[in-house]
Structure 1
């Protein structure tokens, strides 16, 4: 779950030296990378629709939507719920969305299926005796087969005696049957030696590019060895990895996330939460992505920002064990939309996005969804933007 930023500067100006920061967090400074991209996208609001709280559908509780994609084979949309099998087994939903230049006309759910483990069983609640925790966060439809690829964060336990659950990207049939999984980069592995993804900050974002030949994923927050999380003064770098369908790493890059936008309520027990919950490849450019950044601050609420980013010219960091103190050229990025300025009814925990239909204007629609965490004070909000 997490947050926001943007980036650009010529290679010489973007080389970050050890003197700039004891950890790579200092590499993510706005002045380093906010030079415009050559043809950055622009966004405008088409409309939104709120799904009723805890809507009952086929005996399941609708909510917790942390990812969405459009199925090119059916025209339907698929939403992944991040219910870790507490309410019902980990699952996804299909739906028909009526989206046009006038906004989101309707949302009609058409089906739901649980994800199944290799033995055919559903994921039990983490409290079950034989339960294995699963944390579904992102779903994409394979443009070649229309099977589902879904990412889950696993679990870095709070105590040494609890099991480590590794993050994964799995393949599933349209009915949720297990079909295999993608081999992930070694530095995506959770270890108990204070390396790898932080707790609840592993894989939240995957996307297909180059007609399905390239799979790109992003870690939500900085790896433990890459430096501290963002604070009020500094941003941070998170790893974005391009792989082929067999799992071979084609390149890994450092994406700069923004510093925290406001001070936390001093009476809150919760610290800020920020990172990259979703990214989306541009159909016509294998090195270009829309990147969603989400930040929550106690007392200030959510800050959701959308960026146009590119790996072109960025340092390939796959061989760097740690980014802390290293000289790297991060991905360049430029702000596309700050949700506070769109005119939405509310800005909530937006975590998923996908391309929608092309509009009569020639613009491409972008569909985004928020995760209500099954909380009555939050919303499942489906937003449509026009991107040009």
Structure 2
């Protein structure tokens, strides 16, 4: 999600009840959709700040502009990290970077880039810019290292044009070799598609979050915002459902669930023509539990800036909605969730457009480090910030 593209108007109602309070029975709101809540014994991770480091704006590396970093993952084969840029081949070809990031219990000590490669099409060519008009452009948003092969899987959310006569580019989850060569792609669920009219994926709210689970035998993805037929986006009064899908490596859908996206946290001050905007840019599977996830929610409101929150969530007990065409007005049990961290509560230099996260090394006291990265949108008033948290 890019702040330069924040144009979606807030709407007056949605269909899902909030699910924040712990140890409370499931409830039904006045729209008829059931909301579940999390018991402390199920979920409830704790987080503390380890440290942060900021990469200079417009930093160059091997002839490329480092920025737009909207996804990050730790490579189990090398101990390094891979980060994907959401540059749509405007500044340079769509690409990813590798880096050494020194993280321990006392902070983030250094960030050293070690390589960069363009992402390649099946024929070996780089991806063109969107204005090329040939339907082959991509919008890279997330990258994960395959725990079985150490190849890269990456998600791009395509393009829903503003007008009905514009060119549609469907989202995809592709896999690539370690130098960016195309290796294939995952068959997406039938409802992960940009459709005509008031159905399908919203513009700039498509497939942005993926994570491996079950030792690499399962890939979970989340769309950034609710499908058009599932109802409106969150407002100051209502949450909204985001679909989370578990698939096998061959594309078979194992389950699909509704994750309740938080309400807009405050009213805009009117200083911008852009309305509030929110979504799920990253999801991360817990090691050893394929039903449990860290979910990153990123919200922007004019006058207030960014709010970045982490939630501990589970699919246990949630309704499988893969065969439900529209969630609007349906009585379902969504994923349960509990707040882990709000970055505003930490002593950071600022809260920026954080869109990527990955597990880092395990710390001596048994905590697992979590590394987050922000997308600077290649603008002077933003930053590429790397934040490390300790997670219990």
For the aligned pair, the TM-score class normalised by the smaller chain equals: over 0.9
Give, in angstroms, the shift of residue 7 of structure 1.
4.2
SS of aligned partner of 1:336:
strand
Q: Which consecutive residues of structure 2, in runs of 5 or more, have no partner in the other structure?
A: 4-17
1:45-194 matched pairs, under 5 angstroms: 45-130=49-134, 132-194=136-198
Deviation at 1:144, TM superposition (A): 0.3
Return structure 1 stretches of 4+ with deviation > 2 angstroms. 5-11, 13-17, 32-39, 128-133
Any conservation in 1 of the 2:357–2:371 contact (CA below 8 Å)? yes
1:83-127, Cα deviation, whole Å (9 max, x unpaired)? 011100100000001111111000000000010011111011112
Question: Are 1:220 and 2:224 matched, yes or no?
Answer: yes
1:14 aligns with 2:26: yes
Q: Select the structure with the greater relative contact order (CA < 8 A; seq sep ≥ 6).
A: 1
Match of 1:380 among 357, 364, 384: 384
1:328 to 326, 332, 351: 332
For the Cα contact (< 8 Å) 1:7–1:330, is it kept in 2? no
CA distance in 2: counterparts of 1:260 and 1:271, whole angstroms:
11
Instruction: Tell me the distance in 1 between the aligned counterparts of 2:375 and 2:75.
Output: 20
Check the 8 A contact 2:58/2:65 in 1, yes or no. Answer: yes
Number of residues of Structure 1 aligned to a counterpart in Structure 2: 378
Q: Secondary structure at the match of 1:188?
A: coil
Q: 1:23-38 counterparts in 2 under 5 A?
A: 33=37, 35-38=39-42
RMSD after superposition: 1.8
Spell out, residue by residue over 1:115-148, the C-alpha distance to the aligned partner (whole angstroms, 9 max, x if none): 0011111011112254633110000000000000
Q: 2:209 aligns with which of 197, 202, 205?
A: 205
What TM-score, normalized by structure 2, do the two folds share?
Answer: 0.93
How much does 1:36 deviate?
3.5
Decide whether the 8 Å contact of 1:2 with 1:296 is kept in 2.
no
Match of 2:300 in 1: 296
CA distance in 1, matches of 2:387, 2:341: 13
Indicate how the Cα distance of structure 1 residues 2 and 209 shifts in structure 2: closer, same or farther if over 3 A, else same. farther
User: For 2:378 and 2:2, how far apart are their aligned partners in 1?
Assistant: 17
Change (3 A) 1:10 1:115: same
Deviation of 1:334 (Å): 0.6
C-alpha contact 1:124 1:131 (8 A) present in aligned 2: no
State TM-score, norm by structure 1. Answer: 0.94
